[in-house]
Structure 1
Amino acid sequence: MNIAEYAIDRKVITVVMTLVLLVGGGISYTELSRLEDPEFTIKEALVVTHYPGATPLEVEQEVTDLLETEIQRMGQLEEIASVSKAGLSIITVTIKDQYDKFTLPGVWEQLRRKVHDAQRQLPPGAEASRVLDDFGDVFGVLLAITGDGFSDKEIYEYAKFLRRELLLVRDVAKVDLWGVQPEAIYVEFSRARLAQFGISQAEVYGKLRQQNTVVAAGRLQVGGDYVRIDSPVGIGAVRDIENLILREAGAGGAKLIYLRDVARVSREYLSPPAQVLRFNGAPAVSLAISTVTGGSVTELGADVAARLETLRAQTPVGLEVHPVYMQPEIVAEAIGTFTVNLMQAIAIVIVVLLIFMGLRAGLIIGGVLVITVIATFILMRLTDVALERVSLGALVIALGMLVDNAIVVTEGMLVRIQAGVRRLQAAREAVGQTLWPLCGATVIAILAFAAIGLSQDDTGEFCLSLFQVMLFSLTLSWIIAVTITPLLCYWLLPGPAAEGAAPTALKDVYGGPLFSRYRRLLEACLRRRWLTLGVMAALLSAAVYGFFQVQGSFFPKSTMSKFMIHYWLPEGTDIRKTFADVQVLEQAVLADDR
């Protein structure tokens, strides 16, 4: 008894497993993560070190060379590049392709240890080095907060409130603020007043450093208990800083010298600003929200929108939250388009099968195709393969190959049944003769995509889901072809009613007009074999030539209804000059009705 006989003999088991595949596939489809593009890992990190006051040559010799020497001891290193500027060292560390998202965190931790070990050798005045390895995070939701009549500080405080609330939303990994105008307390000294009282700036700096330092004040024993003593709260307001006592003067310290006596203290926004953000001509602060690894960006968008709606009652009148970029909407539209294309492709395949294979055979193969596609979603869910452009594209590519195994088995049974062979015997013979040849053909088809998915470079990581979906769908197509397909043919294909009836005389099932014309074409090609080979060689040459004429593009052209203007000024230009120029561009864009 081969596997086809077993599937037919155990009809209940086969039917139940088919229903499990259909129901499980439908549930898995609803639970699959949805992304615009596959996730991939950026295998680069930056080591940034500030060395205020140093020339580019001093930065290179005293900071960059030292750090590079330490980092180059890492065995995982592929390449290292550095830029030394006045007061700044930037080192780009590239890791070998063989390290993926599971092993890279350990590599970055080793990099941090190497950089930390080199800190004691840095020159005085150099700040601690920072290792940046998360600049590859993708922010799928970008919001802008504006407020007519609200100060930058008030907008910032509300943005901090939103960030705290949105971090509690499911699948939110990080919420970053951008465009914040931080405040600073400026202390402007009067040299004449300092000289009059005999106070140096270093003395004032020392007094300021001593403020707000948290120290243990001890504890008192009260009966059988100890009571902790809290130190007084330090200075915080501008008035407190102005009333800071610098020195006692006069006989017996009768006169006190305050900071306000020698300096002007004010609270202002940091100038010049480090970054400026505007939305539709108004000052704004943005919130950038990223998704956790493996999360669904469409669900994230729905949850964030629901949370913002809940917080609307706590939003001050006049403060508004505007969507700048909503990847969940783009992903939903892209996946919807791909899903429609997939369904259209399945329908086209089924229609073609109905035309050339007949009604019953076409319905059988079409049904097997649908079962295979739906069952593929189960394996995608189990292996955390998301629905995105590459995985859905792989399903479309696989459609033409998914029906091959079912066609071979169905046609094999159809020929035998029409020749008078019993259905069960026809299933046994058709599957028995083609079981391993079909397996080999399926493996070869899978291996054709293995080079893409198993490559260790960035392309392999990005296109991994292509190989995974082809592996899952083609493997399932072979399994279903030798199990479910024989049962469907056993039930649906026409043939002798009596299973015990003797086979009738063999019928030439290839005697129809289509097969007859095809036979004559083959015979003509065999008689003129050299001409046939010449034509095939010419077609091959034309195909190779045409291949090199096709324009290459890894990504299709973007259809996003947004564009970016990159405006660069010479290094060292004041950001306020850049801001003034960008305002002119901003007004021109706002005045354009398109």
Structure 2
Amino acid sequence: MIKWCVDHKVIVVLFSILLIAGGVFSYTDLERQENPTITPPIALVQCIYPGASPEDIEKEVTKKIEDKIGTIEGIKTIESFSLDSVGIIKVTLEDMSDAEILRRWDKLRDKVDAVKTDLPEAALAPTIDTELTNSFGHVIGISSSDYTYQDLKRVAKNLEQKIKVLDGVAEVKIVGEISPSVEIQVDMAKLRQYHIAPNMILGAIQSRNVNIPGGNLNLEKSKIPVQITGEYKNIESLRNTIVGVSSDTGIPISIGDLSTVTQTEKEADSYALVGQDKAIIVGVRYSNGQNVLEAAKKVDETIKTFEKNALYKNMKLTILNNQPAYVSEAINLFVDNLLSAVVLVIIVVWLFMGMRSAIIVSVPIVIVTAVVLIYMKMTGIPLHQISIAALIISLSLLVANGIVANDNMYLYLQQGKERSEAMTKGVRDVSIPILTSTLTTIASFLPLAMMQGSAGKFASALPILVSVALIASYLTALTLVPALGDKILEVKSRNGGLLARLVHVLKIDRLGHKLMKLYDAMLAKALARPKTTIIIFLILLGMSMTLVPSLGIQVFPPIQRDQYVMSVRLPSGVNLNYTRDVSQRISQLIESDPSTESVAAQVGEGFIQYYDTFDAARQGTNVAEFIINGERAHAEDMAQNVRKAFPELTVTLKFLELNMPQDQPVQVRISGSDIKELKEIAESVEALVKPLNGVLRTEVNYGHDSYKLKVNVDETKANLSGISNYDVASTVRMAVNGLEITKLKQADVDQDPIPVNIRIGKEALKSVSDLDQIFLTSQVTGENVPLGQIAKITTEASFNQIVRRNEIRTITVGLYLKSGASSDAVLFDTQNALKQYKLPPNYQISYGGDNEFADETFGSMVLPAIMAVGLIYLVIALQFGSLLEPLIIMGTIPLSFIGIFSGLKIMNYPIGFMAMLGAISLMGVVVNNGIVLLDYIKLLQKNGFALDDAVKNGAKTRLRPIMIGMVTTVISLLPLMLSGGPLWQPLAAALNFGMIVSTVLTLIVIPCSYVWIEKMREKYKV
């Protein structure tokens, strides 16, 4: 193949051009993302049971659903939250493939469907959300204080119609809309006067507002459909509905005689704010498999045109989140890093090898990049920071093959061999060493694709693409490199290299001679005492391990962008309108800070899913969540300002993360059956952990108790009065919250029907004691009976929420940490603080938080690391035909950790997933230096050199190519280490410092280890 490529250079070049063209096409057509898409192993099941207390929700909803879904295999945890009127169940699966996750969600849907018949009749059908990472790329706020929510909704609908037809848009969602409703506020005094029970009004409306097909009238030759109409056309017809007849005057009594009927805005479940103004939030989700940047351009243009021409006066449009802009920024950053790395590598090769050699080595970079892009297009891997980083990491590795091949071709040319023979033989001679080097590097990367968990899936594209790049690099070294060498390689190009001129002008050659003499002296001393030298380096390794505790652990760093979320929780029991008023004042405070660009809030629930791993707050009338576009550095100060202004609030900052965030960094979970006992234990635990170093504040997830009114019906009195429990329940419900009894259809078929609600006039319920005066009309005697006559209303304490974990009631004491505090250290102190704490029988304490995700993530790396070591050993053993010599070479692997830990300490980076990923992938790279060195030493021995002479000459001869390989690796990763952001800088630092230290130490340790082992063999005749 090598000879054929040299003889058919034109075909090789033509094929290369085709690959480049395919790479360019693939690059322009690839889907763009900031991060890889991951199928989350988490689902939420939600069931609304209007008016039910947390205790009722637990008993009638969450426990029944838990019992059903708990039989599904592969579930890691089930957490349920029983709140006022709603139950939420969070299901988390064990590590498994995306396909297995989807199958489990199908079973989850089946189980939830099966439990529907066991739920209370008044409960709404449970909803299931398995797409928690399906985020909205564009989030737009339409706001004004001068218009109603209906006006805002009308404008938002108009924008929705214009955006959803654009290519690449999958969904447009409107959040925060408040629909119109018809309110019938009944005058209880008039009902009492006319002896009309509230249920009579309900029955009259429901029997009147019907539209029942009358069938078909069959005539001799045709059939005519018959329709019976009775639906309400407008509010006036509703007012005129006859309920009864006055017993005194005989005049019909209509609903309008008994109540006030008005069209108003429906009582909201949540409110949206932009700044202090009422708002509607519009979310735009992009289709998978599309170039999101191209689709986003059309959306941006549509928004600009709409803002200019379609907004009402004094109405404002605010871009709250523009994910495509962040995607573009992230990709551009990595492309810049890639181009910088390519330029730096070319410059280094040019300096050391001359311009012609630089061209020969650098052209394959373009071809390999094109091959990787084509592979990405064919396999559906998007262009994101992981895939581009894979190209950057591959760069230094794939250049090495070209350098070795070019160096050997040049050597044969220098010896005077004919050009074609020099190219063919030069590459053929190194084809096996290049293959071994490629395989060992692939062996260190490819097992990483087996990692499970969200972190493993996040980085899964990296080892695959690096392996593809290395295979392509090997093939180009056997094909394109000899073809180019035959065309342009000349001996004089090496002698006329820029580096040679610089060496001559700057007299660097003297420095080079001094460094070589220094290395000779160090190597001679080391070889004189090889065992001592090895022990010294083992001590250095042990010393570097002592740096690990001071580094800290951070699986993934927060995403660096000037945007953050502030979650606010008011005391339990406050109503939604009060929370909205407080939220407006908070927005005013945030807006007044110069660091704030914009602020929006969702009151009553968490903010719309605007990022894949964003964990929105759970709903509640005392909850508000703010998204703030402003300087991230001011976030802590902003939170402190809010806490000072509103000391009764619980304020929590959230920063976007790559991993699914935990509620608190450190969690103490107390499980048992009795809630009061649990709360007492939680208070004791909180008092013990609150003073610990590093703890900013604590939070108990049950919150404070609220109050509820309990209507205790006297069954005997009620029965004697001819009033049923249903009469009492429906009347009280109507008085307190109102009842939806029918819907008023609108003429426009695109508009939703308007709900009709009936309630007792608000003026009749100004205090709790007014409930006693609400009357019920006996269906038997027709008498009006005050509620207080047949029931006693009492005030009782009520739990704010009931949390269950794995079907057991559980209270969590959460610990929030001070800036810079380590969650591992605080967890360790927490466990020590609670070691002597005695729990009552049948109660347990467990711990959680960041450590759970860290243990899962780092645990998933153990098997790939073991496999990588095994594969590397196997490849080296096959090359050398020995079981012992591979161990000598693999001794360079632990040496790299001296550089890795030292480098992380110098750069002040924690130990994280990406740093460990770099450490594992470095294994295959560092052993290549040992292979090159030991292979040449053994070759010299075969040619008659004594052991010491072979080691010394081999080390000096391989010093130059080993150092050039190290320099190109470090230089290529330098842009990523300096400007790759907090995610990639630890990985690049681990690779660079590990590479530098292991390379230097390899040049000492490998010769010493080989000499020591050979002398031991000779001594013991092994």
**TM-score (norm. length: structure 2):** 0.53
Match of 2:116 among 119, 125, 131: 119
Which amino acid is the alignment partner of residue 578 of structure 1?
T
Correspondent of 2:388 among 389, 392, 397? 392
Instruction: Answer with 525-534 or 515-524: which moved more.
Output: 515-524
C-alpha spacing 1:266/1:128, structure 2 compared with 1 (3 Å): same
Q: Which residue of 2 aligns with 1:13?
A: 11
Distance 1:137 1:289 in 2: 11
Cα distance in 1 for residues equivalent to 2:80 and 2:528: 69
CA contact (8 A) 2:210 2:230 kept: no
- Paired position in structure 2 for 1:279: 274
Distance 1:225 1:418, change over 3 A: farther
CA gap of 1:577–1:6, structure 2 versus 1, over 3 A, is same
Task: Report the AA paired with residue 129 of structure 2.
Answer: L
* CA contact 2:276–2:585 (8 Å) conserved in 1: no
Q: Tell me the residue number matched to 1:170.
A: 167
**Once the 2 structures are TM-superposed, how far is the Cα of residue 421 of structure 1 from its aligned partner?**
2.4
Larger CA deviation: 143-152 vs 322-331: 143-152
C-alpha distance in 2 between matches for 1:233 and 1:357: 93
The separation in 2 between residues aligned to 1:295 and 1:88, in whole angstroms, is 37
- Where do residues 304-323 of structure 1 align in structure 2 (5 Å cutoff)? 304-309=299-304, 311=306, 315-318=310-313, 319-323=315-319
Pairing partner for 2:283 from 285, 288, 292:
288
- Tell me the alpha carbon deviations over residues 449-480 of structure 1, each in whole angstroms, 9 at most, x when there is no partner: 33433212111111122223212212211121
Structure 1 stretch 20-29 or stretch 214-223: which is displaced more?
A: 214-223
- Report the AA paired with residue 452 of structure 2: Q
How do residues 375-386 of structure 1 correspond to structure 2 at under 5 angstroms?
Answer: 375-386=371-382
Q: In 2, distance between residues paired with 1:449 and 1:227?
A: 75
CA contact (8 A) 2:212 2:229 kept: no
Does the C-alpha gap of structure 1 residues 544 and 212 become closer, same or farther in structure 2, counting only changes over 3 Å? farther
Matched, 1:242 2:239: yes
| Structure 2 residue identity aligned to 1:41 | T
Call closer, same or farther: CA 1:521–1:420 in 2, change over 3 Å: farther
Deviates most, 117-126 or 385-394: 117-126
1:81 aligns to what?
79
Q: More displaced, 420-429 or 451-460?
A: 420-429
The answer to whether the 8 A contact 2:275-2:588 is kept is no
How many pairs were matched up?
A: 574
Which deviates more from structure 2 when the two are superposed, residues 434-443 or residues 283-292? Answer: 434-443
Corresponding residue for residue 353 of structure 1: 349
Distance 1:26 1:257, change over 3 A: same
The alignment partner of 2:87 has SS state of strand
**Counterpart of 1:581?**
582
Residues 423, 55 of structure 1: alpha-carbon distance in 2 compared, 3 angstrom cutoff: same
* 1:282-310 Cα deviation digits (max 9, x unpaired): 22111011222233332232121233355
**Contact kept in structure 2, 1:365 and 1:406, CA below 8 Å:** yes
1:23-172 matches, cutoff 5 A: 23-100=21-98, 102-147=99-144, 149-172=146-169
- In structure 2, the residue matched to 1:335 is 331
Task: Give the CA deviation at 1:397.
Answer: 1.9
> Is 1:593–2:594 an aligned residue pair?
yes
1:54–1:292: structure 2 CA closer, same or farther, 3 Å change rule? same
Residue 460 to residue 310, structure 1, CA distance change in 2 (3 Å)? same
Which moved further from structure 2: 128-137 or 347-356?
Answer: 128-137
Q: Does the CA-based 8 Å contact 1:452-1:459 persist in structure 2?
A: no
* Residue 404 (1) aligns with residue 400 (2): yes
Report the equivalent of 1:503.
none
Instruction: Tell me which of the two structures has the higher relative contact order, counting C-alpha pairs closer than 8 angstroms and 6 or more residues apart.
Output: 1
Please name the residue that 1:506 is paired with.
Answer: none
Map 1:477-492 to 2 at 5 A: 477-492=473-488
1:482 shift after superposition: 1.3
CA 1:89–1:313 in 2, change beyond 3 Å: closer, same or farther?
Answer: closer
- Alignment match, 1:464: 460
Q: Which amino acid aligns with 1:200?
A: A
Mean Cα displacement is larger for which, 340-349 or 466-475?
466-475
Counterpart for residue 570 of structure 2 = 569
Map 1:218-229 → 2, pairs under 5 A? 218-221=215-218, 224-229=221-226
Rounded to whole Å, the distance in 2 between the matches of 1:544 and 1:5 is 51
Contact 2:208/2:230, CA 8 A, preserved across alignment? no
Alignment check: 8 A CA contact 1:169 1:307 kept: no
- Cα distance in 2, alignment partners of residues 407 and 265 from structure 1: 86
Aligned to 2:190: 193
Distance in 2 (alpha carbons) for counterparts of 1:161 and 1:128: 30
2:82 partner letter: S
SS at match of 2:568: coil
Mapped partners of 1:558, 1:72: distance in 2: 35
2:191–2:197: 8 Å Cα contact kept in structure 1?
Answer: yes
Which residue number corresponds to residue 999 of structure 2? none
Q: Is the 8 A contact 1:4 1:486 kept in 2?
A: yes
Q: Compared with structure 1, are the counterparts of its residues 98 and 212 closer, same or farther at alpha carbon in structure 2 (3 Å cutoff)?
A: farther
Q: Which runs of 5+ in 2 are unaligned?
A: 493-508, 596-1022
CA gap of 1:418–1:215, structure 2 versus 1, over 3 A, is farther
Q: Secondary structure at the match of 2:564?
A: coil
Give the superposition deviation at 1:442: 2.0
Q: Distance in 1 between matches of 2:100 and 2:180?
A: 41
Give the counterpart letter for 1:424 in structure 2. Answer: S
Matches of 1:314 and 1:216, distance apart in 2: 45
**Does the CA-based 8 Å contact 1:297-1:327 persist in structure 2?**
no
1:313–1:561 Cα change, 3 Å: closer
Shifted more, 218-227 versus 318-327: the winner is 218-227
Taking a change above 3 Å as real, the CA distance of residues 19 and 210 of structure 1, as seen in their structure-2 partners, is farther
User: Are the equivalent residues in 1 in contact too, given 2:9–2:483 (CA < 8 A)?
Assistant: yes
Report what 1:369 is aligned to: 365
Matching residue's letter, 1:49: C
2:985 is matched with: none
Shift of 1:27: 1.6
Determine if contact 2:245/2:253 at 8 Å carries over to the other structure. Answer: yes
CA-atom RMSD, angstroms? 2.9
Letter in 2 for 1:66: K
Q: For residues 251-290 of structure 1, what are the alpha-carbon distances to aligned partners after superposition, in whole Å with 9 as ceiling and x for unaligned? A: 9x9843321111211222233x322222233221110112
Matched AA of 2:516: R
Equivalent position SS for 2:170? strand
Structure 1: which amino acid aligns with 2:293? Answer: T
1:321 is matched by which residue type in structure 2? Answer: L
Structure 1's 584 and 351: CA in aligned 2 closer, same or farther, altered over 3 A? same
Instruction: Give 1:74 shift.
Output: 1.6
The worse-fitting range, judged by mean Cα deviation, of 569-578 and 19-28 is: 569-578
Contact 1:142–1:325 (8 Å) recurs in 2: yes
Contact 2:275 / 2:584 at 8 angstroms: preserved in 1?
no
Deviations 1:335-363 (A, max 9, x none): 11221111111111111111122222122
Task: Decide whether aligned partners of structure 1 residues 539 and 392 sit closer, same or farther in structure 2, where only a CA change above 3 A counts.
Answer: farther
In the other structure, the counterpart of 1:499 is none
More displaced 10-residue stretch of structure 1: 237-246 or 379-388: 237-246
Work out whether residues 144 and 285 of structure 1, in 8 Å CA contact, stay in contact via their aligned partners in 2: yes
Matched residues in 1 for 2:90 and 2:158: separation? 35
Q: Distance in 2 between matches of 1:214 and 1:406?
A: 81
Helix, strand or coil: the match of 1:342? helix
Aligned pair in 2 of structure 1 residues 354, 549: CA closer, same or farther (>3 Å)?
farther
Is the contact made by 1:420 and 1:495 (CA closer than 8 Å) also made in structure 2? no
**Partners of 2:588 and 2:96 in 1: CA distance:** 49
Deviation track 1:43-67 (CA, whole Å, cap 9, x = no partner) reads 1112222334544444333333322
C-alpha offsets along residues 407-447 of structure 1, whole Å, 9 cap, x if unaligned? 12111211122112233333333333333443333233223
**Conserved in 1, the CA contact under 8 Å of 2:211 and 2:229?**
no
